[in-house]
Amino acid sequence: MRASEGGLSSRIRRPRTLMRWKQRHLSQLRLSKERSWISRNPGGAIYIVLAFPNTYHVGMSNLGFQTAYRLFNDSPLVTCERVFYPDPEVLSEYRSGRAQPLSMESSRPLTDFHLIAFSVSFENDYPALLEMLHWAGLAVRSADRCESNPLVAAGGVAVFLNPEPLADFMDFFFIGEAEGLVDSFVRAWTEGAAASRQEMLEHLAVHCPGIYVPRLYTPIYGPTGVLQSMQPKGKAPPKVQRVKVDLAAIKPAHSVIITEETEFSGTALIEIGRGCGRGCRFCAAGFVYRPPRFHTFEAISSIVAEWIPHTRRIGLVSPAVSDYPDMDQLCRRLLEWGLEVHFSSLRADKVSPDILKALGESVLKAVAIAPEAGSERLRAVIGKHLTDEDVLSAAERLAECGVQHLKLYFMIGLPSETREDLAAVVDLVKRVKHRVLERSRGRKKMGLITLSVHSYVPKPFTPFQWAAFAGVSDLKVKAKWLQQALGKVANVRVHFDLPKWAYVQALLSRGDRRVGELLEKVVLKGISWSQVARESVLNPDFWVMREREPDEVFPWEIVDHGVKRAFLRSQYERAMRGLPSAPCVQEPGCRSCGACGRA
DSSP string for 560-573 = E-S--HHHHHHHHH
**Distance in angstroms (rounded) separating the CA atoms of residues 462 and 42:** 42
What are the distances in angstroms from CA 143 to CA 1, 169, 585?
18, 8, 46
Q: Which of 472, 490, 510 is the last residue of a domain?
A: 510
273, β-bridge pairs = 294
Is 540 part of a structural domain of the chain? no
Q: CB count, 10 Å around CB of 183? A: 12
The enclosing H or E element of 320 equals none
Question: Does residue 281 sit in the same domain as residue 164?
Answer: no
Domain of 420 in residue numbering reads as: 366-510
End-to-end CA distance of the chain: 41
**Distance in angstroms (rounded) separating the CA atoms of residues 226 and 221:** 6
Question: Does residue 210 sit in the same domain as residue 253?
Answer: no
Question: Does residue 339 sit in the same domain as residue 390?
Answer: no
Chain centroid to Cα 296, Å, comes to 24
Question: Does residue 186 sit in the same domain as residue 287?
Answer: no
Question: Does residue 571 sit in the same domain as residue 445?
Answer: no
156 with 119: CB under 8 angstroms?
A: yes
pLDDT digits (tens, 9 = 90+) for 23-43: 999 999 999 999 998 887 778
Listed as own residue / partner, the contacts of 482-486 with beta carbons closer than 8 Å and 24 or more positions apart are: 482/412, 482/422, 482/425, 482/426, 482/453, 485/423, 485/426, 486/426, 486/429, 486/451
Question: Does residue 496 sit in the same domain as residue 572?
Answer: no
Question: Does residue 25 sit in the same domain as residue 139?
Answer: yes
350 with 386: CB under 8 angstroms?
A: no
Question: Does residue 236 sit in the same domain as residue 251?
Answer: no
In terms of DSSP H, where are the helices of 259-387? 285-288, 297-307, 327-336, 353-360, 376-382
In terms of DSSP H, where are the helices of 274-317? 285-288, 297-307
CATH of the domain at 269: 3.30.750.210
Q: What strand order describes the sheet that includes 366-372? A: 366-372, 405-412, 448-455, 492-496
Among candidate residues 343, 334, 352, the one with its CA nearest the CA of residue 370: 343
341, β-bridge pairs = 314
Q: Is the pTM of this model over 0.75?
A: yes
Is 544 part of a structural domain of the chain? no
**Distance in angstroms (rounded) separating the CA atoms of residues 458 and 554:** 13
CATH of the domain at 409: 3.30.750.200
Count of domains observed in the chain: 3
In sequence order, what are the residues at sequence separation of 6 or more whose Cβ sits closer than 8 angstroms to the Cβ of residue 473? none
Q: CB count, 10 Å around CB of 532? A: 18
Question: Does residue 383 sit in the same domain as residue 354?
Answer: no
Is 310 part of a structural domain of the chain? yes
Task: Specify the pLDDT at position 194.
Answer: 82
Is 519 part of a structural domain of the chain? no
The enclosing H or E element of 270 equals strand 268-271
Is 131 part of a structural domain of the chain? yes
Question: Does residue 376 sit in the same domain as residue 359?
Answer: no
Is 91 part of a structural domain of the chain? yes
Q: Which of 226, 241, 256 is the last residue of a domain?
A: 241
Question: Does residue 598 sit in the same domain as residue 571?
Answer: yes
pLDDT digits (tens, 9 = 90+) for 319-338: 988 899 999 999 999 999 99
Low-confidence ranges of the chain (pLDDT < 50): 1-15, 599
259 with 36: CB under 8 angstroms?
A: no
Q: Which of 481, 510, 539 is the last residue of a domain?
A: 510
126 with 100: CB under 8 angstroms?
A: no
**Distance in angstroms (rounded) separating the CA atoms of residues 63 and 74:** 16
Antiparallel, parallel or unpaired: β 172-174 and 211-212: antiparallel
Cis amide leading into 499 (omega within 30): no
**Distance in angstroms (rounded) separating the CA atoms of residues 168 and 514:** 9
The SS3 call for residue 340 is strand
The SS3 call for residue 264 is coil
Is 528 part of a structural domain of the chain? no
Question: Does residue 433 sit in the same domain as residue 317?
Answer: no
Task: Specify the pLDDT at position 446.
Answer: 62
Is 200 part of a structural domain of the chain? yes
